[in-house]
Copies of this chain bind each other. A is one copy, B any other.
Amino acid sequence: MRVIDAIQKKRDAGALSPEEIQFIIDGFTADEIPTYQMAALLMAIFLNGMNDEELAPWTHAMLHSGLVMDWSELGVPTADKHSTGGVGDKISLPLAPAVAACGVAVPMVSGRALGHTGGTLDKLESIPGFNVGVSLERAREMIADIGVVLMGQTAEVAPADKRIYALRDAIGTVESIPLIASSIMSKKLAEGVDALVLDVKVGSGAFMKTRENATLLAQTLTGIGRRMGCATVAYLTRMDRPLGRMVGNALEVRESIDILRGEGPDDVRELTVTLGAEMLVQAKVATDLETARKQIEGQLDNGKALACFQKLVVAQGGDGRVVEDLDILPKASYQKDVLATREGFVGEINAEHIGRSSMSLGAGRAKAEDDIDPAVGLEVLKTVGDSVSVGEPLVRLHYNDETRVPRAEEWILGAYSVHDTAPDKTELIIERI
């Protein structure tokens, strides 16, 4: 088998065979295929795509380049959720313990903040003592004991994906639906779960700006999952405004604990319940979504999800008192409100700009090696549809470094559109795929 034949096949819009795909992924991971050949192939894939028959073996080869977890001996159903990333998206924090409290184990591997979107690991680390560096052995113990773990990716998981992603980043082939989908699925399927629910974000704050692209990504992701024997469902959900009211690490932990107390903003609760219910159905512990929703709602309202979260925090070295006393979370030294400059109704809030505002205060990262400040961020005081008058606060900034405020304010003022009439209502959840 020769790499050049595979490159030419894909260049001419042909489909690679499973054997060719295995040969390429194995060869590239083992340093036997030169980077320039892989670069040419990735560009050809970017431009000519991959079909479902190619995507399953491509993902399979990436997945099996590393360790694949296996929970079968524990005898419990397992499920996970993956979000394509948004602003204020803290759903994993209330969701994982709520689902675990319903009897479905959640061995969730999460990522860090990059660009304008936050990362679950950074949010968790704002809890004093919380450790996301969990070994696979410890993860197994936690799943057996409390049914949930929220951990970072270990080096053993999908090393082929790490190498391919780094190359894609250097050669401008990141924004390719088949390459994005296979990258996500190779990491998520390495968790070895029975069921996977995907939250594909659409809109100004999402990676996919159009419904068309988001639908295609959702179909590609579920196609791979189902072909590879994992019960997979995707939801298209709106990211044309921040999710919830809090953006920033410790601030989002506060809002997550509100949700686990049966409180918090409606949109965050609704998404937690919808995705959680789907996980229960796909993991076959509930027969229909309506029953499943009641189960999740019940665990949020009866305190069991919160108790499970507390166990999780303690098991990962964190201060468990956080669930009763939010004041042990880091707090920014200063606050400043950004005020409306015209009267009317909030029509849109560009979620990416809100994310960049929070990032500019120090809550996010421009580069992977940047430090973050867990305390800073912002509170959305006026959301889409709210009426505002001149001088009323739109957003409250929480900051430690005064010099960062002007840039953050600019992003906020650029994010809000205020109109004379109220906007039409839109649904958070667009479609189930």
Residues of A within 8 A of B (CB): 4, 7-8, 11, 34-40, 42-44, 46-48, 167, 170-173
Contacts and interface: CB of A to CB of B under 8 A. Distances in A.
B47 A44 contact: yes
User: What number of copies of this chain does the assembly contain?
Assistant: 2
Given A35-B35, A36-B36, A172 B8 contact: yes
Contacts of A46: 11
27 contacts: A4-B170, A4-B171, A4-B172, A7-B171, A7-B172, A8-B172, A11-B43, A11-B47, A11-B172, A34-B35, A34-B170, A35-B35, A35-B39, A36-B38, A36-B39, A36-B167, A36-B171, A37-B39, A37-B171, A39-B43, A39-B171, A40-B40, A40-B42, A40-B43, A40-B172, A40-B173, A44-B47
Which 9 pairs show the lowest CB-CB distances between chains A and B?
A40-B171, A36-B39, A43-B43, A8-B172, A39-B39, A7-B172, A35-B36, A40-B43, A39-B40
A43 B7 CA distance: 10
A49 to B, nearest CB: 12
Contacts of A34: 35, 170
Contacts of A43: 7, 11, 39-40, 43-44, 47
A36 B170 contact: yes
A40 B35 CA distance: 10
Interface centre among A7, A43, A47, A167 (most CB of B within 10 A): A43
Contacts of A39: 35-37, 39-40, 43, 171
A172 B38 CA distance: 12
Q: Mostly helix, strand, loop or mixed at chain A's interface? A: helix
A7 B43 CA distance: 10
A34 B38 CA distance: 13
B170 A37 contact: yes
A172 B8 CA distance: 6
A163 to B, nearest CB: 12
Nearest to A8: B172
A287 B4 CA distance: 50
Contacts of A7: 43, 171-172
Contacts of A36: 35-36, 38-39, 167, 170-171
A38 B4 CA distance: 16
A95 to B, nearest CB: 35
A47 B34 CA distance: 21
A94 B170 CA distance: 51
A378 to B, nearest CB: 31
Contacts of A171: 4, 7, 36-37, 39-40
Contacts of A11: 43, 46-47, 172-173
Given A7-B43, A34-B170, A37-B170, 15 more contacts: A4-B172, A8-B172, A11-B43, A11-B46, A35-B35, A36-B36, A36-B39, A36-B167, A37-B39, A39-B43, A40-B43, A40-B171, A40-B172, A40-B173, A43-B43
Nearest to A48: B47
Contacts of A42: 40
A29 to B, nearest CB: 16
A258 to B, nearest CB: 42
Interface centre among A35, A37, A172 (most CB of B within 10 A): A172
A12 to B, nearest CB: 9
A56 B35 CA distance: 29
Contacts of A35: 34-36, 39
Contacts of A37: 39, 170-171
A179 to B, nearest CB: 13
A36 B39 CA distance: 5
Contacts of A48: 47
Nearest to A42: B40
Interface centre among A42, A44, A171 (most CB of B within 10 A): A171
A48 B35 CA distance: 22
Nearest to A6: B172
A101 to B, nearest CB: 46
